[in-house]
Amino acid sequence: MSNDDEGSATELLETYDFLMKYIVVGEAGTGKSCLLHHFTHNSFKDHSQHTIGVEFSSRTVKLGEKRIKLQLWDTAGQERFRSVTRSYYRGAAGAILVYDITNRDSFLNLSRWLADARALASPNLVVVLVGNKSDREEDREVEWAEASRWAAEHDVHFLETSSLTGDNVEAPFLLAARSILLSIESGALDPEKAGSGVSYGDRALRRVNSSSRLSFGSLSVGRRRTTGKLKLKDLVPGAGRRCC
Ligand SMILES: Nc1nc2c(ncn2[C@@H]2O[C@H](COP(=O)(O)OP(=O)(O)OP(=O)(O)O)[C@@H](O)[C@H]2O)c(=O)[nH]1
Ligand SMILES: [Mg+2]
């Protein structure tokens, strides 16, 4: 159960405004499975083994008034699974691109992972670059500034995390969700379009049924623009800290 859902009624677990598909990609051993585990279980995954193919999990999060169910596809980083895992990229709205700050090779290979994701996922794919294992500062091989530059050059968000301590582990997922919501708000992304990686949840649909206007409070779909802006610091814990 997610942190946000603890203590909530069962109905809230089942209802959401949007469903978003995410893929988690990057070299083997960078900590993708541990990052996801911390995000979904709020604890470090002991004795993590290489992922075989793909593993699926989900978590519902809250951004402002919106409930968003994230479908999370954890992919294997090992080369031998590449063709299998690529087939899961299709229709992803968000990609969490992970490297290990103590392993320079995992950083140097990022372009390949990004190119694959951009080629195969949703055309509006939102990418968050994650430098994991920030707890191992003494073994650092990739400086924050260098990764931040790479992120800016490739038009992706960036932050560092530690799946071990839990530092910043929620931020990449919320940052991507926020960015996707803003694309919906601006009209750039249509959840009703096949392959967008996003669809309306039953909570949103129920509101459509009970109202002739498709409205999501601060977010609106269609021509109507929002009045209140979603602020990153309100939505993403730890945002603004080592994040661009
Ligand atoms: N110190 C530290 N170790 C970590 C962290 N995240 C993961 N690890 C360790 O890194 C190793 C690999 O973690 P995984 O999550 O299995 O890596 P992966 O990216 O899923 O690997 P594949 O499934 O093969 O692609 C494990 O030994 C973890 O204990 C972290 O934030 N800090
Ligand atoms: Mg794994």
Strands 18-25 and 198-200: antiparallel
| Token pair of 130 as six digits | 């994650």
Q: How far is the CA of 167 from the centre of ligand 2 (A)?
A: 19
> How confident is residue 206, by pLDDT bands cut at 50, 70 and 90?
low
Is residue 53 lining ligand 1, measured as CB closer than 6 Å?
no
**Largest distance between two CA atoms of the chain:** 58
How does pLDDT run across 92-120, given as a tens digit for each residue? 999 999 999 999 999 999 999 999 999 99
Alpha helix stretches (DSSP H) within the chain:
10-14, 32-41, 82-86, 104-108, 110-120, 144-153, 171-186, 202-210, 232-235
How does pLDDT run across 2-54, given as a tens digit for each residue? 444 444 444 455 689 999 999 999 999 999 999 999 999 999 999 999 999 99
Is residue 36 lining ligand 1, measured as CB closer than 6 Å?
no
The helix/strand/coil state of 106 is helix
Is residue 77 lining ligand 1, measured as CB closer than 6 Å?
yes
Please say whether the beta carbons of 180 and 93 come within 8 A. Answer: yes
Per-residue pLDDT at 14: 64
Please state the domain extents for the chain.
Answer: 16-234
Amino acid at 20: M
Please say whether the beta carbons of 81 and 32 come within 8 A. Answer: no
Q: How far is the CA of 80 from the centre of ligand 2 (A)?
A: 13
Q: Which CATH architecture has domain 16-234?
A: 3-Layer(aba) Sandwich (3.40)
